[in-house]
Amino acid sequence: MSQAGGGRRAGITVRAPGKVNLALSVSPRRPDGYHELTTVFLAVGLHDVVRLAPAPRLTVTVRGPGAADIPAGDGNLAARAVRLIARAAGVEPSVAVHIDKRIPVAGGMAGGSADAAAALVGCDALCGLGLSREELLLLAAELGSDVGFPLYGGVALGTGRGELLTPLEISDAGVFHWVFAVSPHGLATPAIFQEYDRLRRTRLADGERPTQERVAEVTDALNSGDAALLAAAVKDVNDLQEAALSLRPELADTLRLGPEHGALAGLVSGSGPTCAFLTESARAAATLATALSATGCYRDVLVTAGPANGCTAAPDWT
C-alpha cells in the first residue's frame, strides 16, 4: 500500500487507553466461578502505544515501566488477541507486535486488556479484515472481561463479568482531571476477588446502596461536568476497595494523603493497587502530583484527564 508521497505502509500504530471504574458493584461468586459486576468504565488519557507490522511469525516485545513484569511472546495478552483474530479470519498470525507500556502494570487499570484490544484493532487494519465493532467486541469478550471497553473508550456501563457494554452518552460538559498514584508492587486481580469473597463471608451486606442508584448518580454527575458532584458520587463506590485495603493496608495512607493536598475524592482503581484522585482542575492535579511524588512512596505518579477516546489506529509510513 502506498501513500501519495510514494511511501509504503510499514505497519499500524494503535493507542489504547487505560480505565478507572467510577462504580464497581460486585455480586457473590456465580456457580461458574465468576462474579456478576455492574460498573461504569471511564477511559483516561494514559495510553499504551501498540505497533503492529507484518513479520514472518508472531512476536511480541514490550518496553517501558513494568515491562519486565509482563510476558513477552506467547504469554502476552496481545499475542492471544492476534492468534484469536487470525484464526477467526482464517489468516496466518504473521505479525510483530511492539508494546510501549505507559498504563501501570497490574495496577487495576486494565493495561493488558488495552493491549489486547489494540492488537485486535491493529490486526484488523493491518490485514484489511474489515471486521465490524460488534465482531471485534465478540472476540474481545473471549479474551477477557475488560478487553471490550478500550474499543469504545469514553464512558460505558459494564454488566455480566463486565464484558457486556453499553456506551453512555455523556455531555461534552465534563472533562475531569485525575492523578494516579502507582504502587511499587502490583496486585493480582484473582487475589483481590478471593479476598473480596473472604470478607463478604464475614459480614452482612447491610447498608449497601442499590447498584442502579449508584450508577445513576455517577452518570448524572459526569453529565453535569461538576467535579465536586462526581466526587460525591464516587465515594465508597468500589466494592473491591475494601479487599484491596485489606491486602495492602498502606493504601489507606495514600487515600488519606490525596484530600490533604486538594483532591476532591480518592478511590482504588478497579482491583487496585493504583489509587485514583479526582481534582478540581488541571492545576490542582499538578499540585497534588507534586505532593505525592515528594513522598517517594510511589512507582509513578501520573496526571491525566478523562473521558478519553477508545483505541485509535493510524498507519505507519516508511
Just list the catalytic residues. 19, 146
Rounded (10°) angle between helices 111-126 and 77-89: 30
Q: Does 37 bind ligand ATP (CB under 6 A)?
A: no
What is the closest distance, in whole angstroms, from the C-beta atom of residue 187 to ligand ATP in the complex?
A: 7
Pairing of strands 59-63, 95-100: parallel
Binding range to ligand ATP, per CB under 6 A, among 23-31, 111-119, 122-130, 233-241: 111-119
Q: Does 112 bind ligand ATP (CB under 6 A)?
A: yes
Nearest to 121 by CA among 159, 92, 100, 152: 152
Cβ within 8 Å of residue 47, ≥6 positions away = 15, 16, 17, 18, 102, 103, 114, 308
Distance CA 99, CA 187 (A): 21
Looking up cell 467486541, which residue turns up?
137
What is the closest distance, in whole angstroms, from the C-beta atom of residue 290 to ligand ATP in the complex?
A: 26
Q: Decide: helix, strand or coil at residue 94.
A: coil
Among positions 69-88, residues that touch ligand ATP (CB under 6 A) are: 70-71, 76-78
Q: Does 44 bind ligand ATP (CB under 6 A)?
A: no
Nearest to 77 by CA among 134, 139, 32: 139
What is the closest distance, in whole angstroms, from the C-beta atom of residue 24 to ligand ATP in the complex?
A: 11
Closer of 37 and 221 to ligand ATP (Cβ): 37
| Continuous segment of H or E residues that includes residue 253 | helix 250-260
Spell out, one character per residue from 262 to 291, where the chain touches ligand ATP: x when CB under 6 A holds, - when not.
Answer: --------xx--------------------
Closer of 224 and 312 to ligand ATP (Cβ): 312
Q: Binding residues for ligand ATP, per CB under 6 A?
A: 70-71, 76-78, 99, 105-113, 115, 146, 186, 189, 270-271
